[in-house]
Amino acid sequence: MKVNKAEIVISAVSPKQYPQDRLSEIALAGRSNVGKSSFINRLIHRKNLARTSSKPGKTQTLNFYRINEKFYFVDVPGYGYAKVSKKEREKWGKMMEEYFALRDTLKLATLIIDIRHKPTDDDVMMYEFLKHYQLPVLVVATKLDKIPKNKKSAHLEQVIQTLDLDPEDTVIPFSSETGEGKEDVWHYLEQYL
Ligand SMILES: Nc1nc2c(ncn2[C@@H]2O[C@H](COP(=O)(O)OP(=O)(O)OP(=O)(O)O)[C@@H](O)[C@H]2O)c(=O)[nH]1
Ligand SMILES: [Mg+2]
């Protein structure tokens, strides 16, 4: 997809702030610091529209990015960051439930995981949470630039096995650093737009 326009519309913390224009949405999910915001930036060729950081916990709100006035990427706060208080974790849980359970313009969830490692228990829980809401899930195995080429298929197999990936779902290897996998991702997303 050729991206001509990308704009942040709102950083929301509650449903009444979500956009009302009924455009389709593709939401990101994934561990803190795994590369969700970098993924958005790479897909839309913007260096830092979605704010990134080398420290976990950068994204704290649901950020709605409207692309080509056609659909939204929704960047969400990550999970699995140890230094988070119980209260913050509860706030995060409520925000995720409210969005993923009730949002009827949400067409696809994109679960970003780190290709270098076996998906964590939190990753497995997040995948199950998304499937519980009967969402189609695209798993993006990012940081592909950090593993040797000859290890790629073994790592992907580990992702499929650990998440117990549903036959309707797919995993695509990707790197925000090099852009590898970008065309495959766009091709997949376009079915939902
Ligand atoms: N080498 C490499 N580094 C990456 C890649 N994707 C992200 N990073 C780096 O990983 C760090 C975290 O990236 P973010 O995009 O901010 O991660 P996030 O998932 O949005 O993090 P939170 O908002 O804190 O949940 C940054 O230092 C990025 O530069 C990748 O594909 N390859
Ligand atoms: Mg982020």
Question: All domains of the chain, ordered by start, with CATH?
Answer: 6-190 (3.40.50.300)
For residue 54, what pLDDT is reported?
79
Nearest-CA neighbor of 126 among 15, 31, 26? 31
Q: 50: pLDDT confidence band, cut at 50, 70 and 90?
A: confident
For residue 127, what pLDDT is reported?
97
32 close to ligand 1 (CB < 6 Angstrom):
yes
CB of 153 closer than 8 Å to CB of 125: no
Which range, of 88-97, 104-113, 135-144, 167-176, averages the lowest pLDDT?
88-97
Which among 11, 52, 73, 174 is the best mutation to test ligand 1's pocket, defined by most ligand atoms within 8 Å of the CB? 52
Q: What are the phi and psi torsion angles at 175 (to 5°)?
A: -140, 125
Q: Which ligand is nearest to the CA of 110?
A: 1
Average of per-residue pLDDT across 171-187: 98
Question: Which tens digit of pLDDT belongs to each residue from 105-136?
Answer: 999 999 999 999 999 999 999 999 999 999 99
132 close to ligand 1 (CB < 6 Angstrom):
no
